[in-house]
């Protein structure tokens, strides 16, 4: 496992604000593939409106050092913690970097190696720079990589229904992995202003509405992403996905669930959604 913290480079290179060409050189020094990877991922954003303000806000605050300290503290003890889930230490890179609003956490492949990319600009925007949230963020992305190595992470998403099931499934498995690693089944870094209490109180409504959208071939994007919301609450899909996987764990091991087919998951979600 390789840990890379680029905060000192960020502070030096972007002391007078964000410049795209400087960023390309900075990102290219991490990996030659990284600039193109990030720019392709962000190409649907309005850069001037959606990306640049987040970048400059992060660069002009005093929170970079806080994020760096939290990252260092969490990764120092990470190897021992991963034994709760992995049989052997995973061969992964964990990189704290300045992205283009590609996400606070991104489990991906870089230079042929499994990598967790942690975008400092999104971490600062979302207020996840403290040690507790940093811990959960890293564990969640590692949960995706556990799923990749132990099962069926990528379900083909050529219909809206398949995409909706796949996203719920993948985020649910990652949330359960996160809970196992952090030892708290009710920890969500989305929990602010009664978010979790609202989710529990409205669980039946949430899962029925998700099923309705699947049946009607409607988008479920409202349930995922800090920029979206369902009934005024963002990231409700992470809660729903976790509850769905917990439902499956009553009869199956996590590794069995990690290998489930789309057909099985689709059938099981219908059962789960219709339970009171």
Distances 258 to 83, 106, 189, 240, 266 between C-alpha atoms, Å: 18, 19, 23, 17, 14
The pTM assigned to this predicted structure is 0.89
Please report the pLDDT score of residue 87 as a whole number.
84
The residue whose two tokens read 């809660």 is: 239
Query: Both tokens of residue 272?
Result: 């789960």
How far, in Å, CA of 142 to CA of 177, rounded? Answer: 8
State the 10-residue block means of pLDDT for the chain, 276 residues long. Answer: 96 95 98 97 93 96 95 90 85 96 95 96 94 92 94 82 94 94 87 93 97 95 89 94 97 96 96 88
Please report the pLDDT score of residue 242 as a whole number.
97
Please report the pLDDT score of residue 182 as a whole number.
86
Please report the pLDDT score of residue 276 as a whole number.
64
The residue whose two tokens read 């600039």 is: 35
Going edge to edge, which strands form the sheet with 113-119?
2-5, 93-97, 113-119, 105-110
Q: What is the DSSP letter of 90?
A: -
140 Cβ neighbours under 8 A, 6+ residues apart:
105, 174, 175, 177, 178
Segment holding 129, helix H or strand E: none
Please report the pLDDT score of residue 109 as a whole number.
95
Answer for the pair 72, 87: CB distance below 8 angstroms, yes or no.
no
Please report the pLDDT score of residue 263 as a whole number.
94
How far, in Å, CA of 1 to CA of 171, rounded? Answer: 23
> Rounded to 10 degrees, what is the CA torsion of 99, 103, 107, 110?
-20
């Amino acid at each position: 496992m390789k840990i890379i913290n680029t905060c000192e480079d960020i502070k030096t290179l972007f002391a007078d604000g964000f410049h795209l060409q400087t960023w390309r050189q900075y990102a290219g020094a991490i990996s030659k593939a990284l600039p193109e990877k990030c720019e392709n991922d962000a190409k649907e954003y309005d850069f001037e409106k959606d990306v640049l303000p987040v970048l400059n806000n992060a660069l002009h605050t005093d929170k970079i050092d806080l994020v760096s300290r939290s990252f260092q503290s969490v990764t120092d003890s990470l190897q021992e913690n991963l034994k709760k889930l992995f049989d052997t230490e995973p061969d992964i890179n964990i990189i704290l970097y300045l992205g283009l609003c590609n996400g606070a956490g991104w489990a991906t492949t870089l230079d042929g190696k499994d990598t967790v990319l942690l975008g400092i600009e999104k971490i600062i925007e979302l207020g996840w720079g403290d040690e507790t949230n940093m811990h959960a963020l890293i564990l969640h992305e590692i949960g995706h990589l556990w799923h990749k190595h132990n099962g069926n992470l990528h379900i083909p998403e050529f219909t809206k229904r398949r995409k909706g099931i796949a996203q719920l499934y993948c985020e649910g498995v990652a949330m359960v992995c996160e809970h196992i690693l952090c030892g708290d089944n009710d920890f969500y870094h989305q929990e602010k202003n009664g978010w979790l209490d609202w989710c529990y109180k409205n669980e039946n409504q949430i899962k029925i509405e998700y099923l309705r959208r699947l049946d009607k071939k409607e988008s479920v994007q409202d349930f995922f992403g800090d920029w979206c919301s369902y009934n005024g609450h963002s990231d409700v899909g992470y809660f729903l996905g976790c509850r769905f996987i917990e439902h499956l764990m009553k009869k199956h091991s996590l590794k069995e669930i990690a290998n489930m087919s789309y057909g099985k998951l689709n059938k099981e979600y219908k059962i789960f959604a219709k339970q009171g």
